Amino acid sequence: MARCVWPSVLAFIAVLTLSGCGFFSRPERPIWRTQAENACFARKLVTPSESVVPMSEIDGPGICGMTRPLKVSALADGKIGLDKALVIDCPMVPALEAWLDDIVQPDARARLGQRVATVNVFGAYSCRSVDNIEGARLSEHAFGNAVDVAGFTLADGRTLTYVRDWKRADTQEAAFLHEAHAGACQYFTTVLGPGADVFHYNHIHLDLANHGATNTGPRRICKPTPAPGLLPAPASPDGLPPAPDIEEPLDIARAGNVNAVALAPASALGPDAGPDVALPPAAIGETDPAPPVLPAGAGPSVDPEPTSSIGEHDE
């Protein structure tokens, strides 16, 4: 009997060896994320300071986290405050600062007669799924690669919010918020604001997700579509054929079932799944993590037919 069992055991060991022992390997974050972080520091795009403090690596649960996270309490050398500190990756810092310097501050002075003193935010890093939907794929927030902006406080103390002022027709406040949203589409690869879907009625979501490239530059998602004249003319084509209109690539762990989402409900994974694959017990650095309840009368502000690339996720 023993001689009959041993060949089966040896065959099983051989299969494990050839598969790289995939049963025991841990999911890994896509390598481009660490490369982007390292390149940002190598190019000296961020200088550590009292308001931009390097943190230890955040490694998990699952593939959540950052190699070189930063805790940011203010931007532009402390000239623009944040109403709460954010944990984000290095590339988000220069993108936020360029948007504020080139778009937000000039528009605030021109339309409102004041500079922006503080950016009011809901959160940044949070190891969670897209739109907090259980079983959905990971959000860009899970990699510190996204920030949710709720509004701005001006130097004279006035506060503008997306939930209140976005739809105040024919006002300088609404015009400023729409221009800030449209301008962000030049600096971030995903920008979602009120009207993009039901999850963004009260803020704009900004991230640097890797959606691939087109023959005029990086593929970008900008919803709702800004009014004519708010976006610059597209860049000249690079001479290659236009890129196909496809869904952006997903971040999928290298180990395990490639068709599985990165974070699945623990109940679906069995009692031995362990903590690395279950949703974390609480969000980190995010104060508005729950799916929103729309206020009365908010229906017209929501696009009833969002595009397929937006209707499913918040990034």
Q: What is the pLDDT of residues 222-234, one digit of tens each?
A: 999 998 888 887 7
Residue 218 falls within a domain, yes or no?
Answer: yes
pLDDT at residue 21 in the model: 46
Helix extents (H) in the chain: 2-18, 31-42, 92-99, 105-112, 162-165, 172-184, 308-311
Distance between CA 195 and CA 211 in Å, rounded?
Answer: 21
Low-confidence ranges of the chain (pLDDT < 70): 1-26, 131-136, 238, 241-315
Residue 45 lies in a domain: yes
Report pLDDT for 193.
96
Q: Does 18 fall in a domain? A: no
List the beta bridge partners of residue 87: 71
Kind of pairing between the strands at 190-192 and 221-223: parallel
Q: Please report whether residue 6 resides in a domain.
A: no
pLDDT (0 to 100) of residue 20: 45
pLDDT at 300: 33
Domain count, the chain: 1
Q: Please report whether residue 267 resides in a domain.
A: yes
Say what the pLDDT of residue 171 is: 96
The per-residue DSSP string of 159-200 comes to: EEEHHHHTT-TT-HHHHHHHHHHHHHTTT-SEEE-TTS-GGG
The pLDDT of residue 217 = 78
pLDDT of the residue at 95: 97
d(CA 283, CA 139): 12
**92 class by beta-carbon count within 10 Å (0-12 exposed, 13-18 middle, 19+ buried):** buried
Residue 14 in any domain: the answer is: no
Residue pair 160/176 in contact by the 8 Å Cβ criterion: yes
Q: Is 235 contained in some domain? A: no
Q: Is 110 among the domain residues? A: yes
| Separation in Å, CA 8 to CA 2, 18, 175, 257 | 10, 15, 71, 25
Domain that residue 84 falls in:
28-229+243-305
**DSSP-assigned letter for residue 293:** P
